[in-house]
Chain A
Amino acid sequence: MHEDANEHEALLEALIAGSLPDERGRFGPFGGQYVPETLMTAVNRLSEGVRDVLPSESFQQRLEAELKSWVGRPTALTAAPRLGERWNADVWFKREDLAHTGAHKINNGIGQALLAQALGAKRVVAETGAGQHGVAAAAACARLGLPCVVYMGEVDVERQAPNVDRMHRLGATVVSVTSGDRTLRAAIDEAIRDWVSDPEGTYYLIGSAIGPHPYPLLVRELQAVIGREARVQMLEAGELPDAVFACVGGGSNAIGIFHAFLADRDIALFGIEAGGCGSALGQHSATIAAGRPGVLHGNYSMLLYDDDGQIQETHSVSAGLDYPGVGPEHSLLKLVGRVDYETASDAEALAALDECCEAEGILPALESAHALAGARRWAAKNPGRRILIGMSGRGDKDMPILARFPRSETGVDVAA
Chain B
Amino acid sequence: MSPRDRIRDALSRAQGEGAAIVAYLTAGYPDPERFFAAFEAVARVSDAVEIGVPFSDPMADGVTIQRSSERAIEHGVSLRWIFDELAARHLELAPPVLLMSYLNPLLVFGYEALAERSVECGISGYIVPDLPYEESGPLQEALSERGLALVQMVTPVTPAARLQALCAASEGFVYAVTRTGITGRAVSLPAEATEYLAEVKAASKLPVCAGFGVRERAQVEAIERHADGVVVGTALVEVLERGEDAAEFVRSLRPSR
Complex-state Cα separation, A197 to B63, whole angstroms: 13
- Within the complex, what minimum Cβ distance (angstroms) separates A290 from chain B? 16
CB pair B132–A37 under 8 Å, yes or no, is yes
Q: Which A residues touch B159, using CB under 8 A? A: 41
Complex-state Cα separation, A309 to B108, whole angstroms: 6
Q: Does B181 contact A (CB under 8 A)?
A: yes
Q: Which A residues touch B66, using CB under 8 A? A: 179-180
Q: Does A32 contact B (CB under 8 A)?
A: yes
Interface 9-mer from B53-61, B194-202, B241-249 = B53-61
4 closest Cβ pairs, A-B complex = A309-B105, A309-B108, A197-B181, A308-B78
Select B182's contact among A24, A37, A193, A297, beta carbons within 8 Å: A193
- Within the complex, what minimum Cβ distance (angstroms) separates A24 from chain B? 7
Interface 9-mer from B6-14, B32-40, B149-157 = B149-157
Q: Which A residues touch B162, using CB under 8 A? A: 40-41
Q: Mark B124-138, 1 if CB is under 8 A from A, else 0.
A: 000001111111000
Q: Does A295 contact B (CB under 8 A)?
A: yes
Q: Which A residues are closer than 8 A to B by beta carbons? A: 24, 32-38, 40-42, 179-180, 185, 188-189, 192-193, 196-200, 294-298, 303, 305, 307-311
Q: Which B residues touch A41, using CB under 8 A? A: 157-159, 162
- Within the complex, what minimum Cβ distance (angstroms) separates B59 from chain A? 5
Complex-state Cα separation, A180 to B181, whole angstroms: 20
CB pair A35–B130 under 8 Å, yes or no, is yes
Q: A180-B57, A295-B103 are in contact. List 7 more A-B contacts (CB 8 A).
A: A34-B132, A38-B177, A40-B158, A41-B157, A308-B80, A309-B79, A309-B105
Report the count of interface residues on B (CB-CB < 8 A). 43
- Within the complex, what minimum Cβ distance (angstroms) separates A206 from chain B? 13
Q: Does B203 contact A (CB under 8 A)?
A: no
- Within the complex, what minimum Cβ distance (angstroms) separates B13 from chain A? 25
Complex-state Cα separation, A200 to B156, whole angstroms: 11
- Within the complex, what minimum Cβ distance (angstroms) separates B31 from chain A? 18
Q: Does B107 contact A (CB under 8 A)?
A: yes
CB pair A192–B59 under 8 Å, yes or no, is yes
Complex-state Cα separation, A197 to B59, whole angstroms: 11
Given contacts A33-B134, A179-B66, A296-B57, contact A310 B181 (CB under 8 A): no
- Within the complex, what minimum Cβ distance (angstroms) separates A315 from chain B? 16
CB pair A294–B132 under 8 Å, yes or no, is no
- Within the complex, what minimum Cβ distance (angstroms) separates A303 from chain B? 8
Complex-state Cα separation, A273 to B132, whole angstroms: 31
Q: Does B236 contact A (CB under 8 A)?
A: no
CB pair B180–A38 under 8 Å, yes or no, is yes
Q: Does B193 contact A (CB under 8 A)?
A: no
Select A189's contact among B57, B79, B166, beta carbons within 8 Å: B57
Select A34's contact among B109, B131, B185, beta carbons within 8 Å: B131
Q: Look across to chain A and name the residue whose beta carbon is closest to the beta carbon of B156.
A: A38
Q: Which B residues touch A34, using CB under 8 A? A: 103, 130-132, 135
Q: Look across to chain B and name the residue whose beta carbon is closest to the beta carbon of A311.
A: B56
Q: Which A residues touch B80, using CB under 8 A? A: 308
Select A37's contact among B59, B107, B177, beta carbons within 8 Å: B177
Q: Which B residues touch A197, using CB under 8 A? A: 180-182, 185
Complex-state Cα separation, A296 to B103, whole angstroms: 9
Given contacts A189-B59, A192-B59, A193-B59, contact A309 B107 (CB under 8 A): yes
Q: Does B252 contact A (CB under 8 A)?
A: no
Q: Which B residues touch A310, using CB under 8 A? A: 55-56, 73, 78, 104-105
8 A Cβ contacts from B46-86 to A: 55-60, 62-63, 66, 70, 73, 78-80
Complex-state Cα separation, A37 to B155, whole angstroms: 7
Select B135's contact among A32, A196, A303, beta carbons within 8 Å: A32
Q: Which A residues touch B153, using CB under 8 A? A: 36-37
Instruction: Report 5 cross-chain contacts, Cβ distance below 8 Å, ordered by A residue.
Output: A37-B132, A179-B70, A197-B180, A310-B73, A311-B57
Given contacts A36-B153, A37-B153, A189-B59, contact A309 B109 (CB under 8 A): yes
Given contacts A37-B153, A180-B56, A295-B107, contact A199 B180 (CB under 8 A): yes
Complex-state Cα separation, A41 to B158, whole angstroms: 7
- Within the complex, what minimum Cβ distance (angstroms) separates B174 from chain A? 11
CB pair A196–B60 under 8 Å, yes or no, is yes
- Within the complex, what minimum Cβ distance (angstroms) separates B107 from chain A? 6
Q: Which B residues touch A196, using CB under 8 A? A: 59-60, 180-182
Q: For A192, A303, A308, which residue has the most chain B Cβ atoms within 10 angstroms?
A: A308
- Within the complex, what minimum Cβ distance (angstroms) separates A310 from chain B? 4
Q: For A32, A188, A196, A198, which residue has the most chain B Cβ atoms within 10 angstroms?
A: A196
- Within the complex, what minimum Cβ distance (angstroms) separates A385 from chain B? 41
CB pair A296–B158 under 8 Å, yes or no, is no
Q: Which B residues touch A193, using CB under 8 A? A: 59-60, 62, 182
Q: For B60, B106, B153, B177, which residue has the most chain A Cβ atoms within 10 angstroms?
A: B60
CB pair B104–A294 under 8 Å, yes or no, is yes
Select B157's contact among A38, A180, A189, A295, beta carbons within 8 Å: A38
CB pair A36–B130 under 8 Å, yes or no, is yes
CB pair A36–B132 under 8 Å, yes or no, is yes
CB pair A311–B104 under 8 Å, yes or no, is yes
Q: Which A residues touch B131, using CB under 8 A? A: 34
CB pair A33–B132 under 8 Å, yes or no, is yes
Complex-state Cα separation, A294 to B104, whole angstroms: 6
Q: Which B residues touch A32, using CB under 8 A? A: 135
- Within the complex, what minimum Cβ distance (angstroms) separates B127 from chain A? 11
Q: Mark B155-182, 1 if CB is under 8 A from A, else 0.
A: 1011100100010000000000100111
Q: For B56, B103, B132, which residue has the most chain A Cβ atoms within 10 angstroms?
A: B56
Given contacts A196-B60, A198-B180, contact A40 B104 (CB under 8 A): no
